[in-house]
Amino acid sequence: MTLHILHSEAATGWGGQEIRIFQECQLLLERGHRVSIVCQPESPLGEKCSRLSHPGFTYFPLPMKRSFSLPTLFSLRKIIKSAQPDILHCHSSIDSWLIAMAGKVLGIPIVRSRHVNIPIRNHIFNRWLYAIAPSYILTSGMGIKKMVSEQARVSVDKIKSIPAGVDFRRFDFHISGKKIREELGVSPHQPLIGKIGVIRGWKGFDYFVNSAPLVLEKFPDARFVIVGSGPGYESIHSMIKNQGLEKSIFMLGHREDIPEIMAALDIHCVGSFAVEGTTQVIPQAFAMKVPVVSTRIDSILPILGDGERGILVELKNSQSMANGIMKFLTDPDLAQTMVEKAYTFCKKELSVDKMMDQTIAVYQEVCSYP
């Protein structure tokens, strides 16, 4: 069955959520489906969409500043009637309200994604938005599924957790990280520990920075790299400078060569202490056979097998993160055992093929509803 999916995204940033939406759209096109996207015209996602040329793809720029704007709702309704999609798939709060109202009026089934573990206020309007308006809810982790079910009173039969998948065509562990190490001036024998992601407060970059001096006490040759941009970039940059760590911690900003950067790492760290679904960098690290040190977040625990596929550390605890890093540095056999387990699990459970098989199965189920 060939489908036409219209995705909506009102967010203006460029993080895991927006990256996943764009990736899924490309993968749907590869499989012969049609895709439309409604998103903010000046956003990074909008810029990506404006450059995507494919006969099955249509981009509709639409400013979406408020959830309850009649002019925006009328414009969205006009877009949907013109596109004639089989399914509406919404992602953020503002566009979800708009899609819910337009979709219900037009009689088009709605799929809602919930990417982050932010509490949902329990009132009648949110219960309508989650439990009644959409035919199905997709979450990026089991912790988010549990939260949506409990707080929005949605039947678990109507929610499916589909973690972010990794494209093994792009993330191939045979890729060399030599060029990145040369760029940073790091020798092949120096430990290189990285943290990749949008720099936001809840991502724990400050705890990562504070773990570096603790590691350097015992491993003075170790080097650290932060890859990404975001609202917290300047704050983290100042933190590194104020502690005199510029020669030990490198900040590369936003980069597109993530597989090559990941290939250069000895360890990848995740420091999130709130909100996180299933971060995309963990499957990417798994695919690249890079050991993972991560905080104990509900949605991450199943991915790491409760510590079988990576070292789990305490939230908001730089010493715990440093201990996790040093455990890998002092026990390469442990690191090797864990990366092999992680790679095997990733190939079976976290590929983009499985992610899309599960997503399309939901679409097909929704389309079969009377």
pLDDT digits (tens, 9 = 90+) for 142-180: 889 999 999 999 999 999 999 999 999 999 999 999 999
The pLDDT-based confidence of 277 (bands split at 50, 70, 90) is: low
Closest among 19, 48, 274 to 165, alpha carbons compared: 19
Q: 140 and 258, same structural domain? A: no
Please tell me whether residues 22 and 157 are part of one structural domain: yes
- Domain annotation covers residue 171: no
Confidence band for 298, pLDDT divided at 50, 70 and 90: confident
Query: Comparing C-alpha atoms, which of 159, 72, 148 is closest to residue 111?
Result: 159
CATH number of the domain to which 136 belongs: 3.40.50.2000
Q: Is the pLDDT of residue 87 over 80?
A: yes
* Residue-level pLDDT at 278: 67
pLDDT digits (tens, 9 = 90+) for 130-143: 999 999 999 998 88
What's the average model confidence in pLDDT over 242-269? 97
Average pLDDT over residues 181-192: 98
Burial of 201 (0-12, 13-18, 19+ CB in 10 A): middle
Please report whether residue 104 resides in a domain: yes
What is the number of structural domains in the chain?
A: 2
Average pLDDT of span 9-16: 93
Percentage of the chain modeled with pLDDT above 90: 92
Q: Do 138 and 277 belong together in one domain?
A: no
For residue 55, the enclosing domain spans 4-165+351-367
State what percent of residues in the chain have pLDDT above 70: 99
Partnered with residue 225 across adjacent β-strands are 194, 250
Q: Judge whether 128 lies within some domain.
A: yes
Q: What is the mean pLDDT of the chain?
A: 96
Say whether both 145 and 245 belong to one domain. no
Whether residue 108 is found in the same domain as residue 216: no
For residues 198 and 312, state if they share a domain: yes
185 & 158 share domain: no
Note whether 274 and 361 are same-domain residues: no
Q: Is residue 343 part of a domain?
A: yes
- Note whether 29 and 153 are same-domain residues: yes
Instruction: Round to whole Å and give the CA distance between 246 and 237.
Output: 9
Whether 36 has a pLDDT exceeding 70, the answer reads: yes
25 plus 53 within the same structural domain: yes
pLDDT higher than 90, residue 1: no
Say if CB 94 and CB 39 are below 8 A apart: no
Residue 54 lies in a domain: yes
Instruction: For residue 299, name the pLDDT band (cuts at 50, 70, 90).
Output: confident
pTM: 0.92
Query: Sorting pLDDT into bands at 50, 70 and 90, what band is 116?
Result: confident
Same domain, 103 and 216: no
Give the span between the Cα atoms of 17 and 30, in whole angstroms.
Answer: 20
Phi, psi of 67 (to 5 degrees): -70, -30
Residues 269 and 292: their CA atoms lie apart, in Å, by 6
Residues 199 and 299 in one domain: yes
What letter would DSSP give residue 165? Answer: P
Whether 172 is covered by a domain: the verdict is: no
Mean pLDDT, residues 207-233 taken together: 97
The answer to whether position 170 is within a domain reads no
Cα separation, 69 vs 259, in Å, equals 41
* Assigned domain for 296 exists: yes
pLDDT of 285 reads 98
Q: Which residue has the tokens 């489906």?
A: 33
Asked whether residue 281 carries a pLDDT value surpassing 70, the answer given is yes
Distance set, CA 288 to CA 28, 298, 339 (Å): 24, 24, 9
> Residue 148's pLDDT is what?
94
Is the CB of residue 363 less than 8 Å from the CB of residue 5?
yes
CB burial readout 296-313, b (16+ within 10 A) else e: ebebbbebbeeeebbbbb
Neighbour-count burial of 69, counting CB atoms closer than 10 A to its CB (0-12 exposed, 13-18 middle, 19+ buried): middle
Give the chain's largest Cα–Cα span. Answer: 65
